[in-house]
Amino acid sequence: MIQVGILGAGSMGSGIAQVAAQAGHQVVLFDTQTEALDLAQKKLAKIMARLIEKGRVNEAEANEIQERISYANAMEAFADCGIVIEAIVENLEIKKFVFSSLEEICGANTILATNTSSLSVAAIAASCKNAERVIGIHFFNPAPLMPLVEIIPAIQTTDANTLLARELINSWKKVTVIAKDTPGFIVNRVARPFYGEALRIYEEGIADFATIDWAITALGGFKMGPFTLMDFIGNDINYTVTETVFAAFYFDPRYKPAFTQKRHAEAGWLGRKSGRGYYSYSEDIEQPQPNKDHALGEDILWRILVMLINEAADALYFNIASKRDIDLAMTKGVNYPKGLLAWADEKGIDNCVKAMDLLHKTYLEDRYRCSPLLRKMAAENSTFY
């Protein structure tokens, strides 16, 4: 069983280290900050204690998992690793420097993986002399709990290394999907309308935060509404992802950020972590009540859902991933109640096209252009499944 290196001991890196150790690997967790390593070690001990309490592991198993992880503040500790997964700040220049440094330390066959959620894997790979061993392995936070992992081969990555990476992550009991190296990959691309269209509906004065959230959860079956979820993620983080995807797609209006979210981030109204976002999280504050008008709620739900379906269809049209992997990514990565392409079949492809065309006719914005794939399928009376 290969030794696994994790570069970065933040919440994501330490979570991936836990997953690898639980799968039986010897793990080297590296960080330049000793404080981060100490915190990761203490956090893992607390997690193991909770798992013992819940009966998920016994004391001996918990000790073995913790003993499999060694903590290092020198990258030379990665010398014997078969794979190194980088989980540091989303900064391309820093990542490129790190990968070129790793190549000097690791063996010729070591797979070098990045956990980036939005940066070009090809650009990171280009920093290495042997770019064919670089790949994206994108976990979702928290890594021990979230089942989905996106595997993103760069154009330089060999098929053999892609297969090795996927087989390894599958052996960790994760659900893997293969995504093309394009902005946002599958989940962070396809999910943009969940936030963006909800913000647009609010900015048009159609409904308030609570009503939009109610429509999505009560009528749509989603576990969280978009504003509750943005508060949970953090408005600063969610806005940055939107802004990054928008710029990476050459400012396609479909991914345009909203001033409402920008102002919340600028005000420090980041959500739960700051005590206030779209909602207040003070104990003495009564939360706003939604307008439970059923017709209004259905209109809100359908507008957001058809935009999500349209984005999923476009992802398939441009070969970002297979239809199976797109639906799997959205159900396992962000807990959607159904795969969006399967949902399109249920709603009717022709109805999806008509809804998109009505939005486009109303607003005359390229944001609402219908996916060519949906239009073609409607003409042929075909379905995704």
183-236: per-residue pLDDT in tens? Answer: 999 999 999 999 999 999 999 999 999 999 999 999 999 999 999 999 999 999
Range of the domain at 23: 4-178
**Which of 151, 178, 205 is a domain's end point?**
178
Q: By the 8 A CB rule, do 243 and 329 touch?
A: no
Q: By the 8 A CB rule, do 274 and 282 touch?
A: no
Is residue 171 located within the same domain as residue 26? yes
The CATH number of whichever domain residue 271 belongs to comes to 1.10.1040.50
Q: How far apart are CA 188 and CA 246, in angstroms?
A: 11
127-184: per-residue pLDDT in tens? Answer: 999 999 999 999 998 999 999 999 999 999 999 999 999 999 999 999 999 999 999 9
Res. 118 pLDDT band, cuts 50 70 90: confident
Q: Quickly tell me which residue has 């970065």 as its tokens.
A: 8
345-372: per-residue pLDDT in tens? Answer: 999 999 999 999 999 999 999 999 999 9
Is residue 277 located within the same domain as residue 302? yes
On whether residue 184 sits in a domain, the answer given is: no
Q: Is the pLDDT of residue 324 over 90?
A: yes
The CATH number of whichever domain residue 100 belongs to comes to 3.40.50.720
Q: How far apart are CA 242 and CA 244, in angstroms?
A: 5
On whether residue 336 sits in a domain, the answer given is: yes
158-172: per-residue pLDDT in tens? Answer: 999 999 999 999 999
**Which of 155, 178, 201 is a domain's end point?**
178
Q: Is the pLDDT of residue 285 over 90?
A: no
Q: Mean pLDDT throughout 286-303?
A: 97
Q: By the 8 A CB rule, do 138 and 334 touch?
A: no
Is residue 154 located within the same domain as residue 196? no
Model pLDDT, residue 283:
85
Looking at the 3D structure of the chain, how many domains does it have?
Answer: 2
Length of the chain: 385
The first and second tokens of residue 319, run together, are 């070969």
Q: How far apart are CA 37 and CA 41, in angstroms?
A: 6
Q: By the 8 A CB rule, do 177 and 328 touch?
A: yes
Q: How far apart are CA 329 and CA 342, in angstroms?
A: 13
Model pLDDT, residue 284:
84
Q: How far apart are CA 86 and CA 263, in angstroms?
A: 32
Residue-wise burial string across 26-61, b where 16 or more C-beta atoms lie within 10 A, e elsewhere: bbbbbbeeeebbebbeeebeebbeebeeeeebeeee
7-40: per-residue pLDDT in tens? Answer: 999 999 999 999 999 999 999 999 999 999 999 9
Collapse the DSSP code of 27 into the 3-class scheme (helix H, G, I; strand E, B; otherwise coil) and give the result.
Answer: strand
The first and second tokens of residue 255, run together, are 């991914």
Q: How far apart are CA 190 and CA 330, in angstroms?
A: 8
pTM: 0.94
Nearest to 140 by CA among 222, 233, 56, 47: 233
Q: Is the pLDDT of residue 116 over 90?
A: yes
